[in-house]
Amino acid sequence: MIDVLFIHSPMILYKDQADAAHFKAHGGDEKSLYPLGILYIAACLEKKGHSVKVIDVAAENKTLEDILSSIALEKPRIIGISSMTTSIHSAVSLAKSIRSRFGNDILIGLGGVHMCCDPTFLKRMPYFDFGITGEAEKTFVEVVEKVKEGKKVQGVILGEAYEDLDDIPFPARHLINAGIYKRDEQMKFEVPTAGILGSRGCPYGCSFCCIPAIGQKVRLRSAKNIVDEMESVYDLCQGQYNFNDDCMTLSKKHTLEFCQELIERKLKMRWIASTRANALDEEMVRALKRAGCTDLYFGVESGSEKIRNSVIKKKVTDEQIAKAVALCRKHRILSNLFLMVGFPGETKEDMLKTVHIGTKVKADVVGIHITMPLPGTEIFEYAVKKSMLPADIIDRYARGEMGRGFRDVWPLFVPEGFTLQDLIDIKIKTYRSFYINFFWILRRIRTWFILPKKFKDDLKLFKIAIYVFVKGGTKGQLS
């Protein structure tokens, strides 16, 4: 018997192996990064002597039958299901199936981003005994201790976050098979990358983003604590890391300290991170490069400053974007722009600015998505208010009434006067005009000489690129 079994719920839960044969047709789940949230809670539980196991359903290709068999074998006291909105249908199906197979013997809890964005969910879906909103490292330990003392735990509990992130033990990576997390399935990269979280929270409030609903206060781990963790998993990931931070370079002082710590340890580490164009200057970019940063991802969203700042509330100017990308180019860090299309009031002219911004600032990579209005965001509230989304969409999705596979069924935001096909055409136009461009090809060839690994990666991506140029997205990823 174990104390806790965590289940990372997938976007699509397959009944059995025959059902899973459809997996490829749906484009599947991302399996590149492991569920850090669960592993952090697991580490806290283990520190207090509680026994824990983890099933990452998509990464381990587990079906519902496999999960139920594991539960029968492990006999957990508590099952903790972690879910974003994308996987909330699977989370509900799992809870229902566990209930019907094992009755009320096992306590079932729900946590993760969906609970933060929709805290009344449990009232509408009473298949879970309890739920925790927000960060759960402290609170889940308390729940387990109460249960072990024979006390009753029920309903929604507000998670109490750690003020000092250095007090949280490193994620319990030994509970997963870290070797299976190797970027996107389709890309078949050989080396697993370690997900690392150097900070939590973001002070901005972009209208398409769930961070304001998650409501985390910004906290930074000390440079030493982050690098100690990186060093501890060095062999596992062969020195390759992916920072999951919402915005990595919020504090200049902290960024420089972190880079210095990495440089002093003289370990060959390569890492990528997301940040904002207004949160960088030359001193920082130089330090990032010396510390092993190879790629920076910028949330640019719209090429139109008007949409970016008055609708999305990004608070980043065109000038800041051009400057940040130029600094990256100068110091040989690859700049990746995240773009989006589909916002209230967006015109054809605004969309064309988005099509061209990557070429204009000479970025290395662009990726464009059609806005998905998700619970916990301003854009979701707007879409419901304007009857662009049914008010009960979450429950319909959670009950499986909208069909399987989040990406195939969750509506995208199509501004008035446009069709979905118009937005897909904008995506195709963006990809074609950016990548089928003489100057971009020249820049890329130069990159292959500087970073030969990128040549290998690009060869693998070539097939996907053709698909994207024709269809506007990879399978199941038109958003």
> Which positions lie near ligand B12, rule CB under 6 A?
11, 29-30, 32-38, 40-41, 80-82, 84-87, 109-114, 117, 132, 135-137, 140, 197, 209-211, 244, 246, 369, 372, 374-376, 479
Among the listed ranges 81-89, 201-209, 229-237, 412-420, the one in contact with ligand SF4 (CB under 6 A) is 201-209
361/372 with CB nearer ligand B12: 372
Window 239-268: contact mask with ligand SF4 (x via CB under 6 A): -------xx---------------------
DSSP state of 86: G
> What 3-state DSSP class applies to 300?
strand
DSSP 217-275: PPEE--HHHHHHHHHHTHHHHTTEEEE--SSTTS-HHHHHHHHHHHHHHT---EEEEEE
Tell me which residues in 302-331 interact with ligand SF4 (CB under 6 A): none
Is there binding between residue 379 and ligand SF4 (CB under 6 A)? no
- The CB-of-290 to ligand B12 minimum distance in angstroms stands at 25
Q: Is 380 in the site for ligand SF4 (CB under 6 A)?
A: no
Q: What H or E segment, with its residue span, contains residue 54?
A: strand 52-56
To the nearest whole angstrom, how small is the minimum distance from the Cβ of residue 332 to ligand B12? 25
Among 41, 122, 209, 414, binds ligand SF4 (CB under 6 A): 209
Question: Which one among 114, 276, 369, 429 touches ligand SF4, defined by CB under 6 A?
Answer: 276
Q: Which does 244 bind (CB under 5 to 8 A by kind): ligand SF4, ligand B12, none?
A: ligand B12
- Using rule CB under 6 A, residue 233 touches ligand SF4: no
**What is d(CA 382, CA 371) in angstroms, rounded to the nearest whole number?**
13
Strand partners, 7: 55, 81
Q: Do the beta carbons of residue 111 and residue 132 sit within 8 Å?
A: yes
Nearest distance in Å: CB 471, ligand B12: 16
Report whether 247 contacts 275 (CB < 8 A).
Answer: yes
**Binding residue for ligand SF4 (CB under 6 A) from 211, 226, 370, 374?**
211
Find the binder of ligand SF4 among 94, 108, 157, 202 (CB under 6 A).
Answer: 202
Q: Up-side HSE of residue 262: CA atoms within 13 Å toward CB?
A: 24
Question: Using CA atoms, how far apart are residues 368 and 200, in angstroms rounded to an integer?
Answer: 25
Write the CB contacts of 236 (distance below 8 Å, at least 6 apart in sequence): 173, 178, 179, 192, 194
**Shortest gap between Cβ of 214 and ligand B12 (angstroms)?**
6
First to last CA, the chain: 42
Q: How many residues form the binding site for ligand SF4 (CB under 6 A)?
A: 10
Placement of tokens 């989370």 in the chain: 91
Instruction: Report which DSSP code applies to 7.
Output: E
Nearer to ligand SF4, 226 or 316 (CB): 316
398 binds, among ligand B12, ligand SF4, none (CB under 5 to 8 A by kind): none
Binding footprint of ligand SF4 on the chain (CB under 6 A): 202, 204-206, 209, 211, 246-247, 276, 299
